[in-house]
């Protein structure tokens, strides 16, 4: 793993090249390559002082997963990789989880926490819907693999799953203080509120927006998916259906945040707050990890403020 290498050591392994540039030498003709290399442990800047023309072609054709060999050295206090050899990896040999970061919470734990939540749902139609969705060969797998964001919060594999479970747990705890809230709808709505993100991001290389993600967004993609799933369940009650779709439509809470509706039922209001809190508190925790010795984080654009980390 890249992050385990120390100054003076050698590295061999598979990396994802996120960005690259051909940089001309300043005082002689020709150019060298800079390559931003990533595996699941993190990111390291690489340089390749000499390279066969073939490499440039690969990069221009948007190949981005390579096997590389090189030496690690310190430079400005950070480590840097001088790449000596680089070769292409056949598509069928690529293992995504080796290249992208994943949730710090294991699959096992997430599955257990998800199961605990499911066990609490007693409404038969919601139970069916959840089961059908989570056992769906395509959705069930993607739901457990997709990231929750391109950046900002849980931008890693299993991020959507982690975020959904956390929001459901939070929302369910909050709802416990209000007897008139429907807990089954809370859990179902929370687990499904972001399913459109499976289509909004692609993550077979780095995490990126898809065309349908940009044209429609995860709220509409999620609605479309859930409308389709509900249609397979006989006699799903009309009002329950509207409420569940309303939760998805309104979970961003404000028009300016691209929610076409604002919460008009208690369950939607609670899920909206749980969603915002999970995303924002995640950023506090992240800032504490990233700057363990700081009193204050740098300016966090997504929260428009500095965070106090003590």
Residue 166 in the binding site for a copy of itself (CB under 8 A)? yes
273 close to 262: Cβ distance less than 8 angstroms: no
116 close to 96: Cβ distance less than 8 angstroms: no
Residue 281 in the binding site for a copy of itself (CB under 8 A)? yes
93: which residues sit within 8 A by CB, 6+ positions away? none
Residue 40 in the binding site for a copy of itself (CB under 8 A)? no
102: which residues sit within 8 A by CB, 6+ positions away? 40, 156, 157, 158
The residues in 54-93 that bind a copy of itself, with binding defined as CB under 8 A, are: 75-77
Residue 178 in the binding site for a copy of itself (CB under 8 A)? yes
The CB-of-97 to a copy of itself minimum distance in angstroms stands at: 26
In the chain the first and final C-alpha atoms are separated, in Å, by 31
Residue 130 in the binding site for a copy of itself (CB under 8 A)? no
Other CB atoms within 10 Å distance of the CB of residue 61: 8
The CB-of-89 to a copy of itself minimum distance in angstroms stands at: 25
CB burial class (10 A; 0-12, 13-18, 19+) of residue 292? exposed
For residue 248, what are its two tokens?
Answer: 């998805």
Give the phi and the psi of residue 303 in degrees, each rounded to 5. -110, 0
The residues in 197-236 that bind a copy of itself, with binding defined as CB under 8 A, are: 211-212, 214-217, 219-220, 223-224, 227
Residue 148 in the binding site for a copy of itself (CB under 8 A)? no
Half-sphere exposure (Cβ direction) of 220: Cα atoms closer than 13 Å: 8
247 close to 235: Cβ distance less than 8 angstroms: no
Which ranges constitute the DSSP H helices of 26-95? 53-60
Q: What is the distance between the alpha carbons of residues 197 and 81, in angstroms, rounded to a whole number?
A: 34
The residues in 257-276 that bind a copy of itself, with binding defined as CB under 8 A, are: 257-262, 264-266, 269-270, 273, 276
Residue 46 in the binding site for a copy of itself (CB under 8 A)? no
Residue 110 in the binding site for a copy of itself (CB under 8 A)? no
Options 83-91, 124-132, 153-161, 252-260: segment touching a copy of itself (CB under 8 A): 252-260
Residue number, 68 or 269, with CB nearest to a copy of itself: 269
Nearest-Å Rg of the Cα atoms of the chain is 23
Size of residue set near a copy of itself by CB under 8 A = 65
Q: How many residues does the chain have?
A: 310
Q: What is the distance between the alpha carbons of residues 260 and 271, in angstroms, rounded to a whole number?
A: 16
The CB-of-259 to a copy of itself minimum distance in angstroms stands at: 7
Which one among 245, 286, 291, 294 touches a copy of itself, defined by CB under 8 A? 245
Residue number, 53 or 90, with CB nearest to a copy of itself: 53
Q: What is the distance between the alpha carbons of residues 85 and 69, in angstroms, rounded to a whole number?
A: 5
Write out the residues near a copy of itself by the rule CB under 8 A.
21-24, 26-27, 31, 75-77, 166, 169-170, 173-174, 176-178, 180, 211-212, 214-217, 219-220, 223-224, 227, 239, 242-243, 245-246, 249, 255-262, 264-266, 269-270, 273, 276-277, 280-281, 284-285, 288, 295-296, 304-308, 310
């Amino acid at each position: 793993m890249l992050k385990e290498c120390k100054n003076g050591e050698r590295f061999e392994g598979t990396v994802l090249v996120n960005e690259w540039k051909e940089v001309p030498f300043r005082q002689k003709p020709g150019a060298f390559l800079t390559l931003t290399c990533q595996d699941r442990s993190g990111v390291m800047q690489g340089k390749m002082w000499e390279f066969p023309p073939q490499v440039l072609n690969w990069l221009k054709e948007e190949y981005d997963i390579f096997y590389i060999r090189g030496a690690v050295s310190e430079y400005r206090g950070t480590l840097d990789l001088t790449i000596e050899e680089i070769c292409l990896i056949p598509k069928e040999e690529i293992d995504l989880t080796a290249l992208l970061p994943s949730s710090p919470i294991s699959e096992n734990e997430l599955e257990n926490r998800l199961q605990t939540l499911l066990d609490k749902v007693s409404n038969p139609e919601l139970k069916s819907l959840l089961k059908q969705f989570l056992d769906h060969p395509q959705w069930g797998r993607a739901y457990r693999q997709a990231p929750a964001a391109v950046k900002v919060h849980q931008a890693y594999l299993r991020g959507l799953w982690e975020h959904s479970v956390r929001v459901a747990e939070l929302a369910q705890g909050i709802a416990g203080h209000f007897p008139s809230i429907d807990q089954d709808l809370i859990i179902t709505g929370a687990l499904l509120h972001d399913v459109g993100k499976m289509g909004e991001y692609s993550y077979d290389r780095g995490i990126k927006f898809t065309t349908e993600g940009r044209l429609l967004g995860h709220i509409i993609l999620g609605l479309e998916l859930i409308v389709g799933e509900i249609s397979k369940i006989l006699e799903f009650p009309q009002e329950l259906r509207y409420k569940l779709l309303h939760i998805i439509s309104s979970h961003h809470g404000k028009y300016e945040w691209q929610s076409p509706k604002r919460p008009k039922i208690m369950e939607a209001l609670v899920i909206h707050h749980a969603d915002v809190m999970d995303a924002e508190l995640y950023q506090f925790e992240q800032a504490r990890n990233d700057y363990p010795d700081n009193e204050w984080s740098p300016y966090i654009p997504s929260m428009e403020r500095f965070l106090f980390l003590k």
